[in-house]
Amino acid sequence: MLRHLTGIALLVSAGCNTVEWSLMEAKERPNIVFIFSDDHSTAAISAYGSEINNTPNLDRLAAEGMLFENTFCTNGICAPSRAVILTGKHSHLNSVPTNAERFDGSQTTFPKLLQTADYQTALVGKWHLKSDPTGFDFWRVLPGQGEYYSPDFLTPEGRKRYEGYCTDLTTDFGLEWLEERDEDKPFCLMLQHKAPHRSWMPGPDHLDLYDGEWIPEPDTLFDSYSTRSRAAYEQEMTIDRHMYLHYDLQVPPTEAEGQDLKGPDRAYSRLLDRMTPEQRAAWDAAFEPRNAAFREAKLEGEDLVRWKYQRYIKNYLRCIQSVDDNVGRVMDYLEAEGLAENTIVIYSSDQGFYLGEHGWYDKRFMYEPSLRMPFIVRWPGVTEPGSRDEHLVQNLDFAETFLDIAGVEAPEDMQGASLVPFLRGEEPEDWRESIYYEYFEVGIHAVEPHYGVRTDRHKLMHFHRIDAWELYDLETDPNEVHNLYGKLGHEALTLSLKTELARLREHYQVP
């Protein structure tokens, strides 16, 4: 219903009817540039109030557009989030519940529907869905997670290595495609960065950023997990015990350590070997003195955790700085080409990330740091500059939003709703009051599968394999360290959330 209303609003404002959409001048139909990163927490964007970094270009995007304060993923890992965005359907219906599956490219996706409306579509960067992309006139994607330095890219013609830094190259390829596009048709360009995904390898421009500085630690870096279910104790994603010294923290192995490398650490030297001699020299000049000081200090216990946090967070933020630079490059390009006024620029990330909260890195859990996604939209002449929206929205809504922007009717079986009314500053009558989340993957980082409901104030999570529940009051306990489930006085709240959870599972056709 919402879809139809917003569609009409668009048509009325454009002064035409549905039949005439296809006849409209290309210049009147907005272009879409979707800039999408990987694992970028809102806590590392200054427009969202970051206390640890500055992102001037993302702030500029927010200052010229609308920042959504409450955007949540439906399933907090890489490939599933991408599948939800393409299909507008929850993971249990879109063929990719975990990172293991191959995306069924025969499904209806928003890029395919944009193509039917004469949009030119392109995808560059991280794809991670295993099958070849469908619905794109042009694609050049990273195999799997991709590499930061001298990455390989896949195209319909095959695999090729490119010299350079992945974040810069992804933007280069996107802008090159824009140069060669048909100027008589609108376009949708998806620029999908690997950064700031593990293993955090900063680019040549930011190797020395934060050198000698101390980044504030989160309140829960040394979380005891008391009151939580055993899922919180038994995960394998702590900075203390599960971060790899070489692969994750960029400390080369000693000769003795090199004899017994485990897990991702075995890949460490291969990543460095991809660098050009110039890149490698700059890298070594930055990291060798820091690594020598680390070896010298022989840290233990909490001091070692604190050092690991500093090393991790600085490299993570350095990777983000290149993403921010490249957001600025895209905005400058659009401005210089006279495209800025009719191009919607969106920034988002597949899910959030733990920046030391609960002692963790990684994502997966339904707790706030990884549940939240950044979502900023600049639509000149439509979104009020510097505006903020607080409604509960999800990546589930992106497909229908893009279709609405393009004047294309969304299929009935998409499960989200268009966000265009919010972008126009309108208030839909019956917006959702809760969101549904489900994480399916078993084994990786030992995070128990779970599902749950979040309202504007409360969150109820069920770790169903171990039948454990957690309940949080986000207003009084924003760090989610006081599990209220089973505590006296919360019976009515628990019951109402369980009822809402059951309603959502039925509504979204959870098997």
CA pair distance 29, 405, nearest whole angstrom: 8
Which listed residue (10, 38, 58, 450) binds Ca ion by CB under 5 A? Answer: 38
CA pair distance 55, 13, nearest whole angstrom: 34
Q: Which is nearer to Ca ion, 389 or 438 (CB)?
A: 438
Supply the minimum distance, in Å, between the C-beta of residue 351 and Ca ion: 6
Which region, judged by CB under 5 A, interacts with Ca ion, from 3-11, 34-42, 163-171, 282-290? 34-42
Which listed residue (7, 30, 34, 39) binds Ca ion by CB under 5 A? Answer: 39
Which region, judged by CB under 5 A, interacts with Ca ion, from 39-47, 91-99, 277-285, 413-421? 39-47
Question: According to CB under 5 A, which residues from 330 to 369 bind Ca ion?
Answer: 350
Query: Which 3-state string (H, E, C) describes 337-393?
Result: CCCHHHEEEEEEECCCCCCCHHHECCCCCCCHHHHECCEEEECCCCCCCCEEECCCE
* Distance in Å from the first CA to the final CA of the chain: 25
Q: Which is nearer to Ca ion, 193 or 459 (CB)?
A: 193
Q: Which residue is nearest to Ca ion (CB)?
A: 78
DSSP 203: -
Query: Does 78 contact Ca ion by CB under 5 A?
Result: yes
Task: Convert residues 308-327 into a mask of x (bound to Ca ion by CB under 5 A) and - (unbound).
Answer: --------------------
Q: Which is nearer to Ca ion, 352 or 356 (CB)?
A: 352
Q: Which is nearer to Ca ion, 373 or 414 (CB)?
A: 373
Query: Does 44 contact Ca ion by CB under 5 A?
Result: no
Supply the minimum distance, in Å, between the C-beta of residue 81 and Ca ion: 7
Query: Does 265 contact Ca ion by CB under 5 A?
Result: no
Which region, judged by CB under 5 A, interacts with Ca ion, from 37-45, 101-109, 216-224, 310-318? 37-45
Question: Which amino acid is residue 493, in one-letter code?
Answer: L
Q: Which is nearer to Ca ion, 350 or 404 (CB)?
A: 350
CA-based Rg of the chain, rounded to a whole angstrom?
23
Contacts of 211-219 spanning 24+ positions with Cβ under 8 A: 211/286, 211/290, 213/314, 214/310, 215/52, 215/309, 215/310, 215/313, 215/314, 215/317, 216/51, 216/52, 217/306, 217/309, 217/356, 218/355, 218/356, 218/357, 219/357, 219/479
Q: Which is nearer to Ca ion, 38 or 59 (CB)?
A: 38
Strands (E), 110-223: 120-126, 138-142, 152-155, 158-161, 187-192
Question: According to CB under 5 A, which residues from 393 to 422 bind Ca ion?
Answer: none
Q: Which is nearer to Ca ion, 147 or 350 (CB)?
A: 350
Among the residues of 117-252, which ranges form H helices?
Answer: 166-180, 230-234, 239-242
Q: Which is nearer to Ca ion, 71 or 434 (CB)?
A: 71
Query: Which H helix or E strand runs over 436?
Result: strand 435-439
Whether cis (ω within 30° of 0) applies to the bond prior to 50 is: no
Q: Which is nearer to Ca ion, 279 or 349 (CB)?
A: 349
CA pair distance 497, 367, nearest whole angstrom: 16
Question: Residue count at the site for Ca ion (CB under 5 A)?
Answer: 4
Supply the minimum distance, in Å, between the C-beta of residue 204 and Ca ion: 24
Which region, judged by CB under 5 A, interacts with Ca ion, from 59-67, 73-81, 316-324, 382-390? 73-81
Q: Which residues bind Ca ion (CB under 5 A)?
A: 38-39, 78, 350
